Amino acid sequence: MSATVKSEVRSQTREEPARRVRTEWVSSLVELGVASSLWVLTLSRVDVRAMTDLGLVSVLPWTAWAALALMAFSFARALGRRTSPGWLLTGYPLALCALVFSTPPILYGVPRYSWAWKHAGIVDFIDRTGAVDPQVDVLSVYHSWPGFFAANAMLSDLAGFDTSLSYAAWAEPLLNLLALAAVLALIRAFTTDARTIAVGGWLFVLGNWVGQGYFSPQGINYVWYLIVLTVLLRWFPGRPAPSAPDLGAARRVGLCAVVLLLLVSIVSTHQLTPVITLLVLVALVVLRQTSLRSLPFFMVVVLGAWVLYVAEPFTRTELREALSEVGTVGSNLESTLIGYGTASAGQVLVSLSTRVFTLVFCLMAALGLLTSLRSGRRDRAALVLAVVPFLMVGFSTYGNEVLFRAYLFAMPGLAFFAACLLWPPGTPAVRRRAALVGVVTVPLMVGSGLAQFGNDRQYHFSPEEVAAAEFVYDNAPPDSLLIEGSRNYPSQFRNYERFTYVPINREDPEDIQRILDDPERVMTRWMSDTDTYRASYLIITRSQVDATTALGEIPGDGLLGIEAALRSSPGFRVVFENRDATVFELATAAGGEAP
């Protein structure tokens, strides 16, 4: 054989593996693109008005589940290939995150969760007045921790938006993608195995059902929390690893400045995040997992100064109640449970499924921890992240959400240990191991869907409900009384401090029953107080009805019974109406005679 022929043979031999690798990469990208396209196309067939008490999963067609199954199958195939690069593997959790959390703004067009609208109301207040008012009667806590709202007021002005609602709906995919990116970088502090990192990110997306990554102070503070941990554990570990980057003095100072700035931002933006951050920092320093050992002292000084001085008007009245919850672990846990005796069957199923899903996820993390210990790994920093946030259960109920918030903050550590169970660091590309990831992913997707979107029948708002709320805020004079079926509708997003709000579902059970027995008499008495209020309105919307019915907050015919009684009464007049909302006022308010 001639030298030329031998050279051509060697060249072809080298090119064939490279060609095969490129083909495998293209195949994965095509599969990922098909799954993503199928999901997006499926959303055009979803009728959100047909949702049941099982939420969004009740109206997803089979093509949506096929898209998720295809993505899981493609991810497993990529994991099983030795040639799959890290960027391709991490692309899967990023794509899944983008699809899942872009679904609400695509389907609903406006922010879900009533609190997102209230947050926009604080931004509106700051934009109008140029200041905060800690003495305001409604939502005063936000005026004591205004960092998020002040930043958005500035952003709205700079971008030329009339209101932060112009972009608030898209905060959900943005904040969740930022959180995932930070988690992927954080897991790299525990292992350099690209497959373990990718599986950890994948599980983080599936396990992140708590729903705090929306237009909220918690959403952005969670990102800041993750970035702080990433910087500490990757660039300032307790014992520098051989693979740790060699930082110069200037970069060390710069990174320290970033950490300090983020900690100040965390303290000024939210009430719970600084406490959990402090607990985690203390644990990391005590266990010598970071070299920045003065950070807990810095955090104590900044947090103490903020609570005792800046937020003093709020803490002066609320501190005693907060201290009374310290140590009451049992009651703090019980406060997170819904009333199973009054909730609808669908909501009970969603609640139970969410809790089972969470327990399974934590069990996977525990088994992953045992796997790591048996292999000789001592992931102390990851253990701190997975365990320490749950200490908050002994400190507060935090609005009946403390257990879920603790789970949210523990998610990075839990996701890493769960990934260690499915793909221990150092495991080569093995098809059987990849198949296991795919098989486990499918039921996790179903559980995650129920947990993430199981309450969307009441969490999403239609354009008709928004129109009704805008009518009220456009026409109600200052010092008006706004009676609401519940607070679960788009409210308090404009000039919110000018009104008094009375949600019916928050009245004592005896008072709710009196309203149901004679809605006309009770509402007439409430709405005829002209000495206190310049005008009075009663707002009943679809989401209010769905929420109070699903949770069993108002018995019998509930808000629909109240609406029917007032419609048939000559003492009330409908001033606004569409298929999803009705706004009443007293007939005498329009110049008529008293009934």
Question: pLDDT tens digit string along 148-202?
Answer: 999 999 999 999 999 999 999 999 999 999 999 999 999 999 999 999 999 999 9
384, pLDDT greater than 60: yes
**Cross-strand bridge partners of residue 569:** none
Residue 245: the pLDDT is 60
Structure tokens at 85: 């690069």
Residue with tokens 């970033």: 258
Phi and psi for 399 in degrees, rounded to 5?
60, 35
CA atoms within 13 A on the CB side of 347: 21
In this structure, CATH architecture of domain 461-590? 3-Layer(aba) Sandwich (3.40)
* Nearest alpha carbon to residue 56 among 469, 369, 448: 448
- Look up the pTM and report it: 0.92
> In the chain, how many H helices and how many E strands?
24, 5
User: Which run of H or E residues covers position 528?
Assistant: none
Residue 438: the pLDDT is 93
Structure tokens at 547: 């929420």
Structure tokens at 219: 């959403």
Higher pLDDT, 360 or 340: 360
User: Which run of H or E residues covers position 477?
Assistant: none
9, pLDDT greater than 70: no
Phi and psi for 481 in degrees, rounded to 5?
-100, 125
pLDDT tens, position by position, 479-511:
999 999 999 999 999 999 999 999 999 999 999
CA 472 to chain centre: 29
Pairing of strands 499-503, 572-578: unpaired
Helix ranges (H only) for 130-248 are: 140-144, 147-159, 171-187, 194-207, 217-235
217, pLDDT greater than 90: yes
313, pLDDT greater than 90: no
Residue 4: pLDDT band (50, 70, 90) is: low
Residue 312: the pLDDT is 84
User: What is the Cα–Cα distance from 238 to 247, expressed in whole angstroms?
Assistant: 15
Residue 329: pLDDT band (50, 70, 90) is: very low
Residue 387: pLDDT band (50, 70, 90) is: very high
Residue 335: the pLDDT is 45
User: What is the Cα–Cα distance from 309 to 57, expressed in whole angstroms?
Assistant: 47
pLDDT tens, position by position, 85-133:
999 999 999 999 999 999 999 999 999 999 999 999 999 999 999 999 8
Phi and psi for 290 in degrees, rounded to 5?
-145, 150
Structure tokens at 577: 């109406």
The fraction of the chain above a pLDDT of 90, given in percent, is 74
- Over residues 397-410, the mean pLDDT reads 81
CA dihedral 242, 244, 249, 253 (to 10 degrees): -150
DSSP character at residue 371: H
Helix (H, G, I), strand (E, B) or coil at 538: strand
332, pLDDT greater than 70: no
**Cross-strand bridge partners of residue 582:** 540, 577
* Nearest alpha carbon to residue 449 among 129, 236, 207: 207
Residue 137: the pLDDT is 84
Sign of CA dihedral 511, 515, 520, 526: positive
Structure tokens at 496: 């919110």
DSSP character at residue 48: G
User: What is the Cα–Cα distance from 166 to 120, expressed in whole angstroms?
Assistant: 10
Residue with tokens 């690893």: 241
- Over residues 319-333, the mean pLDDT reads 48
Distances (CA, A) of 582 to 52, 162, 386, 468: 22, 26, 47, 7
User: What is the Cα–Cα distance from 272 to 530, expressed in whole angstroms?
Assistant: 40
Helix (H, G, I), strand (E, B) or coil at 480: strand
Sign of CA dihedral 63, 68, 72, 78: positive
8, pLDDT greater than 50: no
* Nearest alpha carbon to residue 208 among 454, 470, 410: 410
pLDDT tens, position by position, 576-594:
999 999 999 999 865 444 3
User: What is the Cα–Cα distance from 77 to 96, expressed in whole angstroms?
Assistant: 16
The fraction of the chain above a pLDDT of 70, given in percent, is 89
CA 342 to chain centre: 26
Residue 396: pLDDT band (50, 70, 90) is: low
3, pLDDT greater than 60: no
Query: Which amino acid is located at 364 in the chain?
Result: M
Residue 375: the pLDDT is 86
* Nearest alpha carbon to residue 256 among 236, 281, 283: 236
Residue with tokens 């979107």: 453
User: What is the Cα–Cα distance from 137 to 382, expressed in whole angstroms?
Assistant: 42
CA-angle at 224, arms to 219 and 227, nearest 5°: 130
One-character DSSP codes across 67-122: HHHHHHHHHHHHHH-TT--HHHHHHHHHHHHHHHHHHHHHHHSS--SHHHHHHHHH
Domain ranges of the chain: 103-429, 461-590
* Contact between residue 460 and residue 211 where contact means Cβ atoms under 8 Å apart: no
Residue 591: the pLDDT is 47
DSSP character at residue 569: -
User: What is the Cα–Cα distance from 561 to 230, expressed in whole angstroms?
Assistant: 54
- Over residues 213-228, the mean pLDDT reads 96
Per 3-state DSSP, the chain is made up of helix, strand and coil in percentages (nearest 5) of 70, 5, 25
* Nearest alpha carbon to residue 110 among 545, 496, 470, 551: 470
Helix (H, G, I), strand (E, B) or coil at 568: coil
Structure tokens at 79: 């994991």
* Contact between residue 107 and residue 42 where contact means Cβ atoms under 8 Å apart: no
Residue 328: the pLDDT is 46
* Contact between residue 458 and residue 112 where contact means Cβ atoms under 8 Å apart: no
